[in-house]
Structure 1
Amino acid sequence: MSRTLYIIALVLISAFAKAQETSNPNIVYILADDMGIGDVSGLNPEAKVSTPNIDALIKNGMTFTDAHTTSSVCTPSRYSIMTGEYAWRTKLKARVLDGYSKSLIADEKDTAPELLQRNGYATAMIGKWHLGWDWQLQTEENLEMDAKNPYQYAQDISDKVDYTKPFQGGPTDHGFDYFFGINASLDFPPYVYAENDNLITEPTETMKPDGKDKDFPGGRKLDLVGGQKLKRKGDKAPDFEAEDVMLDLTNKSVKYIADYKQSKPFFLYIPLTAPHTPVYPRPEFEGTSKAGIYGDFIQELDWTVGQIMTAVKEKGIEDNTIIIFTADNGASKASFPIEFEEKYNHKPSAHLRGRKATLHQGGLTVPFIVQWKNTIKPNSTNATTISLGDLYATCADIVNTKTELNQAVDSYSILPLLQGENTYDREASVYTNFAGRFSIRKGDWKMDLNPKKGKSYLFNIKDDPSETNNLFEDSAYAKKKEELTLALNDIILSGRSTKGKALENHGTKIWKQLFWLKEKK
């Protein structure tokens, strides 16, 4: 490059960076898939993994020590991130979607990327969607839906899908200008990349199943490493390799940032596939941790975070870019079996009880780290009990607009907390597990409800963060249980937890998991 061209390039980069600094901040939202607070070395001194890049975010930003997902499983958690609404307000009262499920987000439902689009942002998503989309079928058919999941077909429809036609109800129909990624978890077919609303390559092959081996010495139950590699049999594109997905998502994310030329800010949502099953660290990461292939996969994830951070810095926009790192729920027992906690002396939930799919803290508490140079105090912490469902309201606050009427009805802005203030309006948070059972957190108290005798819990989280002393059956706390129950009932039956006109949830008013309300009818 000649000296003249070099100077021109520097001027253009400087002008681009200056334009970014005077606008609303870029937002890069990195979402790990099934990761506990104990999986970050900067949050867990006893971790048998090393996460220097995530640790750098901790050093440069703010760590929320009591951040929670709205559910301990993927789909409902991601629904809340996008819409600012609890997923059980839809007809999905429990469980998750698969790769052929219908779109969970209704057309009339606003999303955080749509709000940002309306306020001058370019929006992109690179990664795992897991909120369903509507495949076009080869012939029109009235197919039966699953009795347990109104968005999922009762039968395998893979042979009925026309993969050559664009799908509907995916990311580009819900606020993203650009999308590259996969529909559901990496252990669900079809195994194929999509770009915007089309598949890149038609799935003409069959992915061989992977997982526990029935002939394993001692039987399938003892094949713990086999379980870490779970993949279901299904349609596969010839050029799709599950082992390369993390690298592909990393390269796409870095390229998006490096190639970005618009003067307006961007929102880049990067929901990654690690460390969810199948646990497939690339060869260069195998053996780099002290926690088996799971730890190696965590370290590949950390490498990805580092590549994205470097891309932001090299673009010259670090000072005006919010980088958020978090996870959709706690660590999975399949990805890192409980038996391995003793074997490797590594605890993905750290001191917390429980894992993914449960109502315990370990299934709901996630890393939540925010870097925003010149705004957030470096190496700071915040103990406020926040929710991943707060993205929508926070984005509205960033662009100085009000939340749309009757949208994001469970979302509260954390912008004041990021700016060093002590203002956060949420009074209570509601959580659900895989079975759709409910928990409520209000102040220091958390109550989990279960119709089975002895399976309901009441904990003072401040005094007992590891949930070891269940006070539910203690009569001395009867008023506290009543207070929490009334608060939970109000949030559910009002159709919202934010202020405003009462709304109706979708589906029946009282459903199976609201057993304590059914008993009163």
Structure 2
Amino acid sequence: MKQKLLLFALFISTLFSIVSCNSSTKEPEEKKQPNIVIVFLDDSGYSDFSPFGQKKIKTPNVEKLAEEGITFTNFYVPQAICSASRSALISGCYPGRTKVFGAHGPTERGLETNFPTIAEVFKKAGYSTAVFGKWHCGDQAETRPAARGFDESCGLMYSNDMWKHHPENPEYWGRYPLQFWENNKVTIEDVDFDDQKMLTKWYTEHAVDFINRHKDEPFLLYVPHNMAHVPLFCSPEFEGKSGVGLYGDVLLELDWSVGQINTALKENGIDKNTIVIFTSDNGPWISYGNHAGTTPFREAKGTSFDGGTRSACIVKYPDELAGNQKSTNTFLTIDFLPTLCKLANVSLPETEIDGRDVWDLIAGKENATNPHDYYAFSNGSEFQAIMSGDGKWKMHLPHDYRTLDYAANDGMAGKYKQTKIELSLFDMENDPYETTNVIEAHPDIAEKLMSFAEQHKAKFYSE
């Protein structure tokens, strides 16, 4: 009997050793590719939401996103105008490379097909892709979302003010109906006021539905809202709810949208492995007065000053980033494409891009440095300003720019006047509002930035 017990014990011990050996040599489970959600607002001011200075209304869902992610206070777009900014985001290229300048109207070509979009890049790697919102990167068959890598899409092909009810140019914009597209088909031939009220809600519902249906596979979801671009609209549920006017109501609905998307990720159990990016295409359109957002920085949309090019930004990725942090690290929208490719182990486009992998900066790794020598800013087709890669210095080349003469209210536009800036250097650490030209005190910095500016002009503006 004792011998049998000893043999049994020996058998169990041997079996345990085999199991332990097998478990210790087992390959670690490969990490799933992260999902990606990009929420891109339109004309939202830097200070529109509570993590960035909003005081008049509460925006709890954006606040929650900030608590769960990292708030970036020195984040930029390369041009503070709709099409140029959006094309830069989805291509990883400067407007000077793509030649997408300003805001493109109905039937315009937009981003040429030889510049791969983020959707084409990730779809090639097996991602499901969708865009719900304002496209504004081309309104021809070859340049609409369905032809640019998006499996699913809905929204407007351009800005919501490009319609027959434009307050200043109704006849010009009324030449083309403002159409609502869904999966490459026009579903509303001529968008009316009631349709505009539903845009934010429709985009959000599509986004949540997409998340629910694709929770078990990697996906790229791009939600470029039409709001808070004039004309302002919100669904009936939010009308009058802010207590501070229509612009506040619009912000409440955008905040709700962020909450719906964030909740959908959590309810599907995929929020920890999802990268969520929240930002805006440029600063506020301040000539619209109480229908415009706010920024503490100099000037606004349509200029290369920080009021136009610096946008509020939050990045959330619970699997890799500790939440409730603030960062002053500087980077641009063009850096998202290569950074996301790195995180998802997706190959970069074969064509040259201008963005760089800035993950170490986003993650706040010790001794991380920006891989760019400089960042360039343009307005329309004019290259106007250059910033050191670390964001500490910014130099404006001599150029004309618009500054507000007077604002109007309730959907009507005020007027701008033209003025000029001379060659100017700003110390962005000590003077983020670009008030004092210090070029004479720092000739070495100015010379270095001017050298980079000449390089940039030769590469992109020599024609």
Task: State TM-score, norm by structure 1.
Answer: 0.72
Question: SS of 2:349's equivalent?
Answer: coil
| Aligned 8 A contact 1:121 1:266 in 2 | yes
Q: Which residue of 2 aligns with 1:157?
A: none
| Aligned 8 A contact 1:185 1:273 in 2 | yes
Q: Which residue of 2 aligns with 1:249?
A: 203
Provide, for residues 26-65 of structure 1, a one-character-per-residue CA deviation record: whole Å limited to 9, x for no partner.
0011011111221111221x53232110010111111111
| Aligned 8 A contact 2:115 2:351 in 1 | no
Change in Cα spacing, 1:454 to 1:245, as seen in structure 2 (3 Å) is: closer
Q: Which residue of 2 aligns with 1:331?
A: 284
| Aligned 8 A contact 1:62 1:370 in 2 | yes
Following the alignment from structure 1 to structure 2, what is the Cα–Cα distance between the partners of residues 21 and 282? 43
Following the alignment from structure 2 to structure 1, what is the Cα–Cα distance between the partners of residues 271 and 120? 24
Q: Which residue of 2 aligns with 1:386?
A: 331
Change in Cα spacing, 1:358 to 1:489, as seen in structure 2 (3 Å) is: same
Following the alignment from structure 1 to structure 2, what is the Cα–Cα distance between the partners of residues 176 and 392? 15
- Structure 1 counterpart of 2:124, from 113, 118, 123: 118
Pairing 1:426-441 to 2, within 5 Å after superposition? 426-434=372-380, 436-441=382-387
- Structure 1 counterpart of 2:184, from 161, 186, 197: 197
Query: How far is the alpha carbon of 1:169 from its aligned partner?
Result: 1.7
Provide, for residues 243-284 of structure 1, a one-character-per-residue CA deviation record: whole Å limited to 9, x for no partner.
1111111111111112226x4300000001111111113333
One-letter amino acid of the counterpart of residue 196, structure 1: N
One-letter amino acid of the counterpart of residue 43, structure 1: F
One-letter amino acid of the counterpart of residue 256, structure 2: W
Pairing 1:349-388 to 2, within 5 Å after superposition? 349=295, 351-388=296-333
Alignment coverage as a number of residue pairs: 399
Provide, for residues 405-453 of structure 1, a one-character-per-residue CA deviation record: whole Å limited to 9, x for no partner.
4332x11123233444225312211112246341111141111223459
| Aligned 8 A contact 1:81 1:389 in 2 | yes
| Aligned 8 A contact 1:376 1:420 in 2 | no
Following the alignment from structure 2 to structure 1, what is the Cα–Cα distance between the partners of residues 67 and 425? 35
Query: How far is the alpha carbon of 1:192 from its aligned partner?
Result: 1.9
Q: Which residue of 1 aligns with 2:106?
A: 99
Q: Which residue of 1 aligns with 2:143?
A: 169
Following the alignment from structure 2 to structure 1, what is the Cα–Cα distance between the partners of residues 144 and 307? 30
Query: How far is the alpha carbon of 1:367 from its aligned partner?
Result: 1.1
**1:130 aligns to 2:136 (yes or no):** yes
Change in Cα spacing, 1:491 to 1:242, as seen in structure 2 (3 Å) is: same
Following the alignment from structure 2 to structure 1, what is the Cα–Cα distance between the partners of residues 162 and 387? 33
Question: SS of 1:37's equivalent?
Answer: coil
Q: Which residue of 2 aligns with 1:186?
A: 160
| Aligned 8 A contact 2:35 2:219 in 1 | yes
- Structure 2 counterpart of 1:30, from 33, 39, 54: 39
Change in Cα spacing, 1:369 to 1:428, as seen in structure 2 (3 Å) is: same
Following the alignment from structure 2 to structure 1, what is the Cα–Cα distance between the partners of residues 234 and 182? 24
Following the alignment from structure 1 to structure 2, what is the Cα–Cα distance between the partners of residues 303 and 288? 12
Following the alignment from structure 1 to structure 2, what is the Cα–Cα distance between the partners of residues 290 and 245? 21
Pairing 1:133-282 to 2, within 5 Å after superposition? 133-134=139-140, 167-189=141-163, 190-201=177-188, 203=189, 236-237=190-191, 241-260=195-214, 263-282=216-235
Q: Which residue of 2 aligns with 1:412?
A: 356
Question: SS of 2:50's equivalent?
Answer: coil
Query: How far is the alpha carbon of 1:454 from its aligned partner?
Result: 5.2
Residue ranges of structure 2 left out of the alignment (5+ in a row): 1-28, 164-176, 401-418
One-letter amino acid of the counterpart of residue 24, structure 1: Q
Greater Rg, structure 1 or structure 2?
2
Question: SS of 2:153's equivalent?
Answer: strand
Q: Which residue of 2 aligns with 1:305?
A: 258
| Aligned 8 A contact 1:31 1:270 in 2 | yes
| Aligned 8 A contact 1:257 1:312 in 2 | yes
Q: What is the alpha-carbon root mean square deviation over aligned residues?
A: 2.4
One-letter amino acid of the counterpart of residue 455, structure 1: I
Question: SS of 1:394's equivalent?
Answer: helix
Q: Which residue of 1 aligns with 2:397?
A: 449
Change in Cα spacing, 1:107 to 1:449, as seen in structure 2 (3 Å) is: same
One-letter amino acid of the counterpart of residue 42, structure 2: D
Identity of aligned residues (%): 31
One-letter amino acid of the counterpart of residue 416, structure 1: D
Pairing 1:456-467 to 2, within 5 Å after superposition? 456=422, 457-467=424-434
Following the alignment from structure 2 to structure 1, what is the Cα–Cα distance between the partners of residues 269 and 69? 18
Q: Which residue of 1 aligns with 2:95?
A: 87
| Aligned 8 A contact 2:39 2:279 in 1 | yes
Change in Cα spacing, 1:317 to 1:91, as seen in structure 2 (3 Å) is: closer
Query: How far is the alpha carbon of 1:133 from its aligned partner?
Result: 2.2
| Aligned 8 A contact 2:42 2:229 in 1 | yes
Question: SS of 1:172's equivalent?
Answer: helix
Provide, for residues 181-207 of structure 1, a one-character-per-residue CA deviation record: whole Å limited to 9, x for no partner.
110011114322112322124x2xxxx
| Aligned 8 A contact 1:113 1:123 in 2 | yes
Following the alignment from structure 1 to structure 2, what is the Cα–Cα distance between the partners of residues 277 and 63? 26
Question: SS of 2:386's equivalent?
Answer: strand
Structure number with the higher strand fraction is 2
Query: How far is the alpha carbon of 1:313 from its aligned partner?
Result: 1.1
Provide, for residues 318-365 of structure 1, a one-character-per-residue CA deviation record: whole Å limited to 9, x for no partner.
11111111111011114445xx89xxxxx711x322211112111111
Provide, for residues 282-307 of structure 1, a one-character-per-residue CA deviation record: whole Å limited to 9, x for no partner.
33323333542112211111011111
Question: SS of 2:47's equivalent?
Answer: helix
Change in Cα spacing, 1:466 to 1:290, as seen in structure 2 (3 Å) is: farther
